[in-house]
Chain A
Amino acid sequence: MKSFHGGVHPNDSKKYTAAKSIEPAPLPKKVTIPLRQHIGAPVSPIVKKGDEVKKGQLIAQTDAFVSGNVHASVSGKVVDVGDYPHPVFGSSMSIVIESDGLDTWADGIPVQREWGKLDSKELLKIIRDAGIVGMGGATFPTHVKLAPPPDKKIDTFILNGSECEPFLTADYRVMLEHAERIVTGVKITMKVLGVNTGYVGIEDNKPDAVKVLRDAFSGTQVKVVALPTKYPQGAEKMLIKMLTGREVPSGGLPMDVGAVVQNVGTITAISDAVTRGVPLIERVVTVSGSAVKEPKNLLMRIGTAFADALDYCGGLKSEPAKIIMGGPMMGFAQSTVDVPVIKGTSGILFLSKKDVNYRKESACIHCGRCVEACPMGLNPSMLSILGERQMYKEAKEDYSLLDCMECGSCVYVCPAKRSIVQYVRYAKAQNAAQAQKEKAKVAV
């Protein structure tokens, strides 16, 4: 299979957890559930300090369409509603629940539901009510993705099983252990979208997952495809190109080429919400890295502290240089372990100095490795230099700044260790601020 242009081959480091079955983590004593776990409008708490809540109970919501409901992940008492550390945003309004240890479900959960009789509108409502967002890390509300504007004709559904980030094995284990839920979730999603063509894309370094899903999907319209192992294979645009040959236009979205992509975790959450009425309150998280004693794939409640996750894994083996939420290529570095698992937490990594391979940044030597590695066909060297010199407008207009998806392939290969992604993000933010300013000027 001809691969997409660019990309890199980091050591996949999946050996730590690939062979480890998903293990349900012990019930946490306390969960801190942030109200910002998604892209879009914030949700407002509907419980207050002192309230008793049940597992699965809605605790924060909004009427805004692009948003995601939040549910209690344990039963117990709300001990605080306030600002707490957040793994992505630094801090966020959060609801803290102290578990009563009983883990009782809210009324009406779980249920047995015959979803075959439901129409796509009803299914979509269930998915929205369950607070499902993209669990690969982007946390875009799923019901929005599944309800594209009427002028975008969707004909293809893609399940993203590539899990191209090193270290992460959560999706892999779910594919091996929960194939039926995946099949159900895919069927539901395809019904919601009204499409007949489905693909499952899996990197060929997971042949057993390919086999399990091929068997599970046999006799359906869904084709399971083994893709060349290369980062960022799991980027939506790369995946769509590989599976359908279609290229999402610059500045466009997958729906512009008739495709919708969902992550493995998201699909199982859809299955659970629709068939059992269970909202998104837990997820599989890979806890790994060479600094952690017993790396594991843990099924954890949303709101569980990273510190608890670390304790479940036997603590530290050596001094970590970096703690990451997500994968090492696109994840978020943490300054503390007092942050909670959120809906987009695919992994918690404790990376040693050796993993990080930190070296001081120097001037670009123009070697061109970043140009070769860039899957978007950009010139990362130039973007970093323009960012460094505060030439944000040129970066945007002459060097397609906004096409960069920040996959980090350029930084990975850079011998000068330049923080290209950092420059790109800053330049994007500066351009956005400038656009705001101009808009305000026009308004005046």
Chain B
Amino acid sequence: MDSEQSIKMNLLTVSPSPHITSEESIPKIMWTVNASLAPAVVFAAWHFGMPAIITMLVGIVSAVATEYLVQKIRKKEVTINDGSAFLTGLLLAMCLPPELPWYMTATGSFLAIAVAKHSMGGLGYNIFNPAHIGRAALMVSWPVAMTTWTKMTTRVDVVTSATPLNILKQQGYAKLIETFGDAPSLYKAMFFGTRNGSIGETSAVLLILGGLFLIYKGYVKWEVPVVMIGTVGVLTWIFGPAGLFTGDAVFHMMAGGLMIGAFFMATDMVTIPITRKGKIIFAIGAGALTALIRLKGGYPEGVCYSILLMNSVTPLIDRFVVPKKFGAGR
């Protein structure tokens, strides 16, 4: 009888089954992704110094602040603790030149969160990757600032403020090799990240490390980065500078924003297809577009635009690529 009374005094939850759920949650996923970026962030702080640290801080703070304001104004629940705005701000900053003026970074974060994310309805409803929308908007708004890179010494006697892809686009492959001394030195710089570029994109090894961690945690499907990077590799190898099958696939796979894009942007759950097959189609498309822009386009790099373009066909892919239904016959 005692027990009966104590139950009556309490309010029991009555809801449909199931009555137990896993430990998984959106904040857990988002903060884990943030944590997986840590090695690349620390490296960037060392490699590019104070300007990079400031840009990353401005990116994060303005993204989180924008989310707070938008949700306050719209009288919605404030969800800045879920780590998603933090992630958008950080990813955007990692795709920017280190010495970008702070107000540009803040504008990018604002556009990413207010326009790309919340004008669509907030987390889960956005069609495009918010960080990449922020970057694309800055690219068209301040094209010069967005392509002004840090001055750095690539070889003992060469000081340049161009990224490897810039050199390739404007001066050709021979000059690229010459800038770094020889091919192995080039690859080494690309792999470890001692090269010019956006804040967080340079160190292939640390981005792969973070990506592997996410694959291990199950937040990233290995198919996406492998297929996207692989597609870029195959296409850049086939359509090389000196005719078919002469391209430098190794360089292209580690160049530009491909590593960070393939592991952290093309795997953004919200904006990519929901099925495994759909994800693979997405990755092939993004890889092919990246190669197309790099080889034939006016820009040296195309990861950002190709992912955004593929984001736009995600609903279409989801409509036609569906899981195999049980009992539907062979």
Q: Which residues of A contact B (CB under 8 A)?
A: 4-5, 8, 10, 166, 237, 241, 247-252, 307, 310-311, 315-316, 319-324, 328-337, 349, 351, 355-359, 362-369, 371-372, 374-379, 381-382, 400, 403, 406, 408, 411-417, 419, 421-422, 425
Contacts and interface: CB of A to CB of B under 8 A. Distances in A.
B171 interface: no
B20 A328 contact: yes
Interface stretch (B105-113, B195-203, B322-330): B322-330
A324 B2 CA distance: 19
B46 to A, nearest CB: 33
A247 B323 contact: no
A357 B21 contact: yes
Contacts of B122: 363
B245 interface: no
Interface of B: 1-4, 6-8, 10, 12-26, 28-29, 79, 121-125, 219, 269-272, 274-276, 279, 318, 322-329
18 contacts: A248-B327, A249-B327, A316-B3, A330-B17, A331-B17, A332-B17, A333-B16, A336-B7, A351-B19, A356-B19, A357-B22, A363-B125, A367-B274, A371-B275, A371-B323, A376-B325, A377-B328, A403-B325
Nearest to A4: B326
Nearest to B319: A398
Nearest to B121: A363
B16 A412 contact: no
B3 A412 contact: no
A377 B14 CA distance: 28
A408 B6 contact: no
Contacts of A336: 7-8, 12
A333 B19 CA distance: 8
Given A320-B10, A337-B4, A363-B123, 12 more contacts: A166-B20, A316-B3, A316-B6, A333-B13, A333-B15, A335-B12, A336-B8, A356-B19, A365-B123, A374-B323, A403-B325, A417-B25
Given A250-B325, A362-B123, A365-B123, A412 B13 contact: no
Contacts of A4: 326
Contacts of B271: 366
Contacts of A374: 323
Contacts of B272: 366
A271 to B, nearest CB: 30
A416 B26 contact: yes
Nearest to A8: B22
B186 to A, nearest CB: 37
A166 B279 CA distance: 33
B24 A413 contact: yes
A86 to B, nearest CB: 14
Contacts of B16: 333, 419, 421-422, 425
B20 A321 contact: no
- A contact face: mostly helix, strand, loop, or mixed: loop
B323 to A, nearest CB: 5
Contacts of A248: 327
A322 B26 CA distance: 24
B7 A366 contact: no
Contacts of B124: 362-366, 416
Contacts of A331: 17, 19
Q: Considering residues A364, A366, A425, which has the most beta carbons from chain B within 10 angstroms of its beta carbon?
A: A366
B6 A365 contact: no
A337 B12 CA distance: 11
A30 to B, nearest CB: 14
B326 A375 contact: yes
Nearest to A425: B16
B161 to A, nearest CB: 39
Contacts of B25: 359, 415, 417
A379 B320 CA distance: 12
Contacts of B328: 249-250, 377
Contact of A310 (B4, B12, B121): B4
Given A307-B3, A316-B6, A413-B22, A378 B329 contact: no
Given A316-B6, A356-B19, A415-B24, A365 B270 contact: yes
Contacts of A316: 3, 6-7
A249 B25 CA distance: 35
B20 A333 contact: no
A364 B122 CA distance: 11
A403 to B, nearest CB: 7
B79 to A, nearest CB: 8
Contacts of A365: 26, 29, 123-124, 269-270
A403 B7 CA distance: 37
A336 B24 CA distance: 30
Given A358-B13, A422-B15, A337 B7 contact: yes
B295 to A, nearest CB: 31
Contacts of A8: 22
Contacts of A241: 326
Given A328-B19, A329-B17, A363-B123, A415 B4 contact: no
B2 to A, nearest CB: 6
Given A351-B20, A355-B20, A363-B123, A250 B327 contact: yes
B12 A333 contact: yes
Contacts of A351: 19-20
Nearest to B7: A337
A249 B329 contact: yes
A300 B3 CA distance: 19
Contact of B322 (A247, A337, A379): A379
B77 to A, nearest CB: 9
Contacts of A422: 15-16
Nearest to B3: A315
Q: Enumerate the 10 nearest inter-chain pairs by beta-carbon distance, A residue then B residue, closest first.
A: A408-B18, A363-B124, A315-B3, A377-B325, A250-B327, A415-B24, A367-B269, A422-B16, A328-B20, A329-B18
A421 B17 CA distance: 7
Contacts of B21: 356-359, 411-414, 417
Nearest to B124: A363
A403 B271 CA distance: 27
Contacts of B26: 362, 365, 415-416
Nearest to A317: B3
Contacts of A359: 21, 25
Contact of B3 (A250, A311, A369, A403): A311
B220 to A, nearest CB: 10
A70 B188 CA distance: 80
Given A367-B29, A412-B22, A421-B17, A381 B12 contact: no
Given A333-B12, A333-B15, A323 B24 contact: no
